[in-house]
Amino acid sequence: MKSKSKMEEVMGNTYYIARHGQTEWNILGKTQGHGNSPLTEKGLAQANELAEGMDKYPLDMIFSSDLGRAMQTAEAVGKRFGIEVQPTEALREMGFGEWEGRLIPEITEKYPEIYKTWRNEPHLAKIPGGETLDVIKERLEKFIDELNEKYDNKNILLVSHSVTVRVLLLLMLDSPMKNIYRIKQDNTALNIVEWRNYGPVVTKMNDTSHIKGDYKLNNSALE
C-alpha cells in the first residue's frame, strides 16, 4: 500500500469504514459471503443510527460493496447527507463458495479439516469454490491505492462486511492476515483511518456508540 512522500501534504484522505447492519442470515447463523439476505428491521434501525451518528463527521463521498445488505446501510447514510452511493465489487464480502448459506454445524460436519484451518490459521484456509484472505487483501489494496491516487484530503465512507473490514484494517495496520480474529467488528461498527505522509493511522475502531438500542450487535456466523 502506497504512502505519501514527505514532500506532499501531511494529511491525505480520511476513511470512515463501516460494516452493514444486521441481516436475516446473521440472526439465522448462516454463512454469508457473496450470497445476500436483506437487513432485518433491527438492521435498518442500525443503519439509520449510523447515519445519525455520522452527523459529527464531514463526508464527501460514499463507496459501498455492491451487495444488497451493504447498499441498504450505505444508502441510509447517503440519504441523510445527500450523497449518491457508489457501489463497487472491491468492497464485497469474502466469497465462501460451498459454505455459502450453510450453518456452522453443517460446515464442521462436511469440511472438518478446512474449518479447523479457518479457525486456527485463517490465512491458510482454502474453502472449496471460495476466496482466500490474500485475494481480499489484494483487491482492497488496489482499491485504496486508486482512491489515494485520485483524491486528496477527502472524507470517504466505505461500507462493507465483517471479514472484508477486518482485512482492510489489518492491511492498513500492516499486520498479517492470520490476525483477523484479533479484530472485532459489530454490525454498523465505525472505524476511522486518517492517511498521513507516513501511512495510515487508525484513530477509531469498532465504535458502536451511535447505537441506541440495548441488543446484541455481533452477528456473523464465521466470527
Q: Summarize pLDDT for 76-95 with one digit per residue, the tens.
A: 999 999 999 999 999 999 99
Beta strands per DSSP E along 53-103: 61-65, 85-88
Q: Which residues of the chain have pLDDT under 70?
A: 1-10, 214-223
* 125 inside domain: no
* 2 inside domain: no
**Total structural domains in the chain?**
1
* 1 inside domain: no
Helix (H) or strand (E) holding 177: none
pTM beyond 0.75: the answer is yes
Q: What domain range includes position 152? A: 11-28+39-94+133-207
Q: What confidence score (pLDDT) does residue 219 get?
A: 58
Q: What confidence score (pLDDT) does residue 6 get?
A: 44
* 140 inside domain: yes
Q: What confidence score (pLDDT) does residue 11 get?
A: 73
Helix (H) or strand (E) holding 28: helix 24-28
Name the phi and psi angles at 19, rounded to 5. -90, 155
Q: What confidence score (pLDDT) does residue 141 get?
A: 98
Spatial distance between the Cα atoms of 196 and 182, rounded to a whole number of angstroms: 24
Q: What confidence score (pLDDT) does residue 123 get?
A: 97
Q: What confidence score (pLDDT) does residue 2 get?
A: 62
CATH of the domain at 80: 3.40.50.1240
* 22 inside domain: yes
Burial class (CB in 10 A: 0-12, 13-18, 19+), 23: buried
* 113 inside domain: no
* 119 inside domain: no
Name the phi and psi angles at 105, rounded to 5. -60, -35
Q: What confidence score (pLDDT) does residue 205 get?
A: 97
Q: What confidence score (pLDDT) does residue 5 get?
A: 47
C-alpha pair distances (Å), 51 with each of 46, 173, 176: 9, 26, 32
* 34 inside domain: no
Q: Where are the alpha helices (DSSP H) in 86-184?
A: 104-110, 112-120, 133-150, 162-172
Half-sphere exposure at residue 162, Cβ-oriented, CA atoms within 13 angstroms:
23
Q: What confidence score (pLDDT) does residue 8 get?
A: 47
For 97-110, letters b (16+ CB in 10 Å) and e give: eebbbbeeeebeee
Do strands 61-65 and 85-88 pair parallel, antiparallel, or not at all (unpaired)? parallel
Specify the 3-state DSSP secondary structure of 223: coil
Cβ contacts of 21 within 8 Å, gap of 6 or more? 39, 40, 42, 43, 44, 45, 46, 47, 50, 69, 72, 73, 187, 188
